[in-house]
Amino acid sequence: MSAFIVSSDCINSIVTYLHKESDRFDWLTERTKINVAAKSDLPRMASALHQLNCEAIGQRYTSVVLRSDLKGQHFYFRPVERPAIAVYKAVSCLLYQCMEGDVPEQDLYQVLELISHRIAMNIVEALPEYDAAPWGD
């Protein structure tokens, strides 16, 4: 398997969605100490996700040159609006690119998995078929 650093738009779309839907992600503050409802915290969340990705790539590819390139990377947050399904795919891609070394055991990776599940639930719960389906029958 090869792994790569996802685009800034990928991460920025995830963080923008978390901010937009912050009432559904209020539990993130306790888990990450980052409040996605506050615009001032969004760059921190985006940078943390980027660093998680860099950590995974650094563990996958042990080249000293690559590791120094990763440390020199700067990440900038800017809002990127995408539909929920595109954000879900972005989260799935980021999770896949972070499946290296011990990164999946890290708290932020596990939080990202929970985010993925919540976005999937948001998508399904917005479907007319979900509303039409019987409850518990």
Query: How would you write the pLDDT of the chain (137 residues) with one tens digit per residue?
Result: 678 999 999 999 999 999 999 999 999 999 999 999 999 999 999 999 999 999 999 898 876 445 545 555 678 999 999 999 999 999 999 999 999 999 999 999 999 999 999 999 999 999 999 999 999 87
pLDDT of residue 74: 73
CA distance 9 to 23: 23
Sketch the domain layout of the chain as residue ranges.
8-127
Q: Is 12:36 a contact under the CB 8 Å cutoff?
A: no
CA distance 11 to 62: 24
pLDDT of residue 137: 79
- What's the predicted TM-score (pTM) here? 0.90
